[in-house]
Amino acid sequence: MQETMQFEMKLQTAKADLSLRREIWVLLVWLLLVQKGEAQQPFASPAQTSPSPGTATWALLHKNVGIASMHTAVTHTGQVLFLDRTDIGPSLISLANGLCRDNQRDMSSQHDCTSHSLMFNPIDNSVRPLLVITDTWCSSGQFLPNGTLMQTGGYNDGVQRVRWLTPCGSDGSCDWVESSTDLLQAGRWYASNQLLPDGRMFVLGGQYSPTYEFIPSNGLGIFTLPLLESKNYFNWYPFIHLLPDGTLYIFADRDSLILDYNTNTIVKTFPSIPGEPRNYPCAGSSVMFALENGGTSAPEVLVCGGASIMAPGNVTAQYPASQTCGRITVWDTNPGWSMQDMPIRRNMGDMVMLPNSQILIINGAQNGAQGWDNAASNPVLNPVIYDPDSWSFQVQPASTIPRVYHSTANLLPDGRVLVAGSNCHIHYTFVGEFPTELRVEAFQPAYMDPIHDSIKPLFVSNPITISYGAPFDVQVSIPGPVQGMVGLTLTSSPFTTHSYSQGQRQVKLAISPPMQLSSNVYSISTKGPLNANVAPPSWYMLHALHQQIPSYGVWVQVQ
């Protein structure tokens, strides 16, 4: 005990000494600037203007949820939807109340009393099994304006299916609903979805389907997209980003275009991104950076990672994965790719938009490509965080669990990132280098370090619904003195699968300076996103940020 106290005293002395040195250094810098005529007022110390970096950590949430989540989505009721394929044979969690799944077209188990989908509660880490009938292998999805998840396609008997799940709370009994009459017009396996401003679903691509369609179709048929026709193999799970003018940015392999889906015309094409193919089975990922000032900024797209064109099907070679990211401002007159190297080469990485608008790149492997068994090797255990403003990467602490093929990562309202899945095998296999992974963990970015508690905002009041362009106020409490502005971001909840989060987007709201209401409560005036092109009607996570430290998010419905 005495040795511990002595150590703590030495530690505090060292911290105080470091703080003093920092203050002296800041003062010397300021004096130098004054002498040069470049400073009009004293420097604020770094400890005052920005928080200490803190430490990112990992936490194991569940040792065995029973399924490997190939598809993951966070619902506005607080539950997380896990979904695997159905034709893998029995999982490790039984359906409740004696339910069984009987499907004569299933390729593995026509009578199966285990679950292949479940609801996970990130508050108490409990699970509730769900019943899904048709095969959801490599399917697609996204949330509708009312918060219902629309899930489309798959394999075998699921290739044209449309499924719905209307979320409920932890004490509810919501489950999958499948229709035998509402079907996709084309079979879609490895497709991508995008919610449109009018609430329709845009469904694009898939193996052997270089086309797109709408749900509901309203009498419209299917439309061919030449970009997908020309790619043949490296166009599965194409990247789609809804732009603030209502058109769609679509990326496949190494090429991209802007599609006006209302007139079914290609508005613009872009130069090929340098480097490797970026879509399945080479598995890069993509995000559109946060739209600024309520959605008035020019959209910029980031594409990172991928695999050698020779990697798929060439297991022996284990070609190195891509180490590059490219970003492009799609409304530039002559747009081009600005390329950067990541600290770690990576394929099968998931990209997650954090509440502070930085990008987490997590999961994946450094060699090979997507595929069964030994298609990839050398797992990437360290996430990295990319700061779009400074164009910089920061390597994060490593997980102990490899997350390769069929793994997912999703933002939770509290700021954690839920990490699940990883299965390189046709059936559940618990031997070998990459066994089927049933553990669920959370990556906790440095902004969650308790060192930031004195500046972390907390919502005191907030709206439940937000209307486009309409003003509203929020109130936040901040324990310590407020420095600078208090930001507000809206972040969607995407459908994450195969290294791409379908429907992921973020909007930074225009804000007023905080108005102090009491000793530590402040009011911030803002207004909703510009229109439905900027933020399609749906449920979003609203976060307040103070010195880039986010609050616990609250769910709001934008309409």
pLDDT digits (tens, 9 = 90+) for 379-396: 999 999 999 999 999 999
Same domain (yes/no): 355, 466: no
Nearest-angstrom CA–CA distance, 86 and 407: 16
173 confidence band (pLDDT: 50, 70, 90) = very high
CATH number of the domain where residue 112 is located: 2.130.10.80
Task: Choose the final residue of a domain: 414, 448, 482.
Answer: 448
Please report the pLDDT score of residue 52 as a whole number: 57
**Quick check: helix, strand or coil at residue 302?**
strand
CATH number of the domain where residue 534 is located: 2.60.40.10
Which contiguous run of DSSP H or E holds residue 488? strand 486-492
- Count Cα neighbours of 508 within 13 Å in the Cβ-side half-sphere: 24
Nearest-angstrom CA–CA distance, 130 and 176: 7
- Count Cα neighbours of 528 within 13 Å in the Cβ-side half-sphere: 20
Same domain (yes/no): 441, 460: no
Same domain (yes/no): 112, 201: yes
Same domain (yes/no): 457, 421: no
Residue 27 pLDDT more than 90? Answer: no
Same domain (yes/no): 513, 499: yes
Please report the pLDDT score of residue 42 as a whole number: 29
Same domain (yes/no): 412, 541: no
Can you list the positions of beta strands (E) in 166-284? 177-183, 192-195, 201-204, 211-215, 223-224, 239-242, 248-252, 255-260, 265-269
Q: Which residues of 306-322 are buried (b: 16+ CB within 10 A; e: fewer)?
A: bbbbebbeebeebbbbb
DSSP codes, 25-47: HHHHHHHHHHHHT--SSPPPPHH
Task: Choose the final residue of a domain: 419, 448, 477.
Answer: 448
Q: Which residues of 456-465 are buried (b: 16+ CB within 10 A; e: fewer)?
A: bbbbeebeee
In the block, tokens 């906790």 appear at: 444
Nearest-angstrom CA–CA distance, 163 and 140: 10
51 confidence band (pLDDT: 50, 70, 90) = low
Same domain (yes/no): 142, 254: yes
Which range of residues forms the domain containing residue 501?
A: 450-558
Same domain (yes/no): 235, 109: yes
Which tens digits make up the pLDDT trace of 345-368? Answer: 999 999 999 999 999 999 999 999
Same domain (yes/no): 207, 244: yes
Question: Rounded to two decimals, what is the model's pTM?
Answer: 0.90
Same domain (yes/no): 487, 360: no
Same domain (yes/no): 339, 272: yes
Residue 233 pLDDT more than 80? Answer: no
Q: What percent of the chain has pLDDT over 90?
A: 86
498 confidence band (pLDDT: 50, 70, 90) = very high
Provide the number of structural domains found in the chain.
3
Which tens digits make up the pLDDT trace of 432-462? Answer: 999 999 999 999 999 999 999 999 999 999 9
Task: Choose the final residue of a domain: 413, 448, 483.
Answer: 448
Nearest-angstrom CA–CA distance, 516 and 428: 56
Same domain (yes/no): 92, 41: no
459: nearest Cα among 488, 499, 495: 488
